[in-house]
Amino acid sequence: MAKIGYIRVSTEHQETARQEQIMKDYGVEKVFSEKLSGKNTNRPEFQKMINYLREGDVLYVESISRLSRSIRDLLKTVDILTEKGVSLVSNKENFDTTTPQGRFMLSIFAALSEFEREQTLQRQKEGIAQAKSRGVYKGRQPIKIDEARFKAVCKRWTAGEISAVEAMKTLGLKPNTFYRRCKSLGINPPQSKK
């Protein structure tokens, strides 16, 4: 378990001394610091910090607003930390996910995040329905595949000359598209040799 700190101020003219002292008080081992706006998470040190964090680490911040000024970005960050198994401690909000109260707060954040995702999906469905009613939405266009080339590559695959991964790479297809097309053309995978 490592203690990781993140410090952010919005402009070059602002000082980080107060936040640095907070990190020292917590005994933080590694600090990521930058002087950039928190309007989004497209910040070099923020991204380095997210990539650096490992399961069991604790992330310390002076306040939640240091992570993000956007609720949506903050909820996304909390999701990432949760997936990584990283705890979060915020000095200003007295927020510590290593405690039962902090985990409760985290569950509230997670619920808000899920609610936001569901709202977004609902708005998307409504928008598609409106577009369809106006005749504007046509849906996702099918991937155009040269059938002769597809069959030639699949012939090599079924003969055991190349792997399925190589066949997909050659055709530039993802697995679900590749196998769906094989099924529609009656092409069966090669039988494994016993």
**Number of C-beta neighbours around residue 178 at 10 A:** 23
**Going along 10-98, which residue ranges are E strands?**
30-35, 58-61, 87-90, 95-96
Q: What is the dihedral of CA 111, 114, 120, 124, to 10 degrees?
A: -140
The one-letter amino acid at 188: N
Look up 133 and say whether it is catalytic: no
Q: Find the catalytic residue in 10, 33, 63, 70.
A: 10
Among residues 94, 110, 4, the alpha carbon closest in space to that of 57 is found at 4
The residues annotated as belonging to the active site are: 10
